[in-house]
Amino acid sequence: MKYVSSRLSSGNNVFPTEIHIEPSGISIKEPGVFKSKSTFISFVDIVSVSIDNPLIGYSTLTFFTNSTAVSVTGFTKKQSEEINALIKAKK
């Protein structure tokens, strides 16, 4: 499955962030003009997921592993909850 952040959210105006749910983990793609970043986190490495849902605006998801935390923003509350549920189902 593929989830794309809103272009209306901060930092995603031109190139929105994408989260791809793959069979063995998640890929986070943050495209850019001069630099793009791609991160893969396997399901077994994900310790927890934090979702910050503000009253107004878009959610921020933070994926915690044993050694690092990766945050992405610009997803709707529904998208965030679906991503979290899919990760829990795969663990």
Averaged pLDDT in 10-residue chunks for the chain of 91 residues: 87 85 95 89 96 92 95 94 94 68
pLDDT for the residue numbered 85: 96
CA angle, residues 9, 29, 12, in degrees to nearest 5: 15
pTM of the model: 0.89
In the beta sheet, which residues pair with residue 27? Answer: 20, 40
Q: Are 73 and 5 in contact (CB under 8 A)?
A: yes
pLDDT for the residue numbered 7: 84
Q: Using CA atoms, how far apart are residues 91 and 13, in angstroms rounded to an integer?
A: 33
pLDDT for the residue numbered 49: 96
pLDDT for the residue numbered 57: 87
User: Has domain 2-90 been given CATH number 3.30.360.10?
Assistant: no
Q: For 77, what's the count of Cα atoms within 13 Å in the CB-facing half-sphere?
A: 5
Q: Using CA atoms, how far apart are residues 86 and 40, in angstroms rounded to an integer?
A: 16
pLDDT for the residue numbered 86: 95
